[in-house]
Amino acid sequence: MYRPSSFVNIRLKRDLARSIKQGHPWIYKESLADTPSASMGANIRVLTKKKETLGYGFYNPDSPLSIRMYAVGEHFKENWAYENAEKALELRKPFLVPESPTNAFRLFNGEGDGLPGLVCDVYSTVGVIQVDGSGPAAFWDIYQVAEWVHQKLQLEYVIYKPRRSEEGEPQIIIGEKNQFNPEVKVVENGAYFAVNVFEGQKTGFFLDQRDNRKFMEYFSSGKSVLNLFCYTGGFSVFAAYGGSSHVTSVDLSGPAIEYLNKNWSLNDLNPNANEAIVSDVSQFLDESIQSQRQWDLVIVDPPSYAHRSEDKERAVQSYIQLFTKALKVVSPSGYIAMSSCSSHINSREFTQVCQSAFSLAKKRAQILYNKGQGFDHPYGLAMPELKYLKFVLFRVQG
């Protein structure tokens, strides 16, 4: 599943043995005693200052994150990647039984499954592979990964989708190219969605919010709902399934709103209860505040405002400003869900962001639900960075 190469030895100048043995797989350039002339994706044997073997990983000479570990200990196992892939597959067995109400899930979650930098999402009969940066792209053999996924899940297609458009176009690795339709119909907890695996964000859909969408279905009965940054309408559809009286969905992307309307129709939902708006969210909130329009339940699920650690301070202020505005359109004794997918803002810091927003809005809050990503997005106990998703539902008071 990966490209073999001879091992290059790299010594550490900092004592990271405890952190690595506990399961944290990242080593930054500042911790290296040596700067080798190893190529991108080269296999690395990580040594202590005393030249004892700590484990094995692969190298990225161009990134502050120099080494991603894939094995800990002195002895190297050739089949480690296949073993970890099998364990990942076993964890997702609940999605693979015939009676499962969901056929869209994450199969490989990178470091969380012991497969550093490798992601694979499954949409019904289509698998979508992505890698997290140049190091993983050079290390993993995408064709071998695609073949393994195809054989194990009997998928019709497996594609490779670069994270960014400048990295190239999506490639069909497995399947008949001339017959491929990038729009895939999937089912999530009984609701249907059309997912464009070529043009959609990430691999096509935000699978990490699945459990939270289901919870909001239970919580939407009889309520007017506002879904901000709605994308293709995941929360909107589940709110309607839950018996909401009316759903207003807002996103800046016209194509995303088109897919929302398509997904609304796919589920035979009441067209009169769907108000889908193409707009900048901040502008929409300003106009709603001015017109004194309010909703019983407001869902705020913005994109990441902090892609790098340097963006963190600015991102915190952006979240506070956004959530403060959103609180002003919540009806008296209403509810608001606040979310963030930024790994650079941890759960404690996100709670502080929410507290600041409530304080500025002169409101009090009661936490009803506090969750992150689903179980198919696992992370190691020693690596809380992978617990990136925060989703908190509040009852607004005062």
Mean pLDDT of 164-173: 87
Of 339, 341, 345, 340, the closest CA to residue 309 belongs to 345
- Strand residue runs (E) in 220-268: 224-228, 246-251
Residue 34 has pLDDT above 90, yes or no: no
Amino acid at 114: G
Q: Does 292 have pLDDT greater than 90?
A: yes
Q: Is 104 helix (H, G, I), strand (E, B) or coil?
A: strand
pLDDT of residue 88: 99
Residues in a beta bridge with 140: 2
- Max CA pair span of the chain: 71
pLDDT at residue 306 tops 80: no
pLDDT at res. 35: 83
**pLDDT beyond 80 at 165:** no
Q: How many CA atoms lie within 13 A of 7 on its CB side?
A: 14
Q: Which domains does the chain have, with CATH numbers?
A: 8-72 (2.30.130.10), 80-188 (3.30.750.80), 206-397 (3.40.50.150)
pLDDT value of position 167: 81
User: Residue 89: helix, strand or coil by DSSP?
Assistant: helix
pLDDT digits (tens, 9 = 90+) for 313-325: 999 999 999 999 9
Convert the pLDDT of each residue in 80-133 to its tens digit: 999 999 999 999 999 999 999 999 999 999 999 999 999 999 999 999 999 999
pLDDT interval class at 261 (50, 70, 90): very high
**What's the pLDDT tens digit per position in 307-355?**
777 889 999 999 999 999 999 999 999 999 999 999 999 999 999 999 9
Average pLDDT on 288-316 reads 93
Give me the percent of the chain exceeding a pLDDT of 70: 99
Tokens of 51: 């030249």
pTM (two decimals): 0.96
Q: Is residue 27 predicted with pLDDT exceeding 80?
A: yes
Q: What is the mean pLDDT of residues 247-253?
A: 99
pLDDT in tens, 202-219: 999 999 999 999 999 999
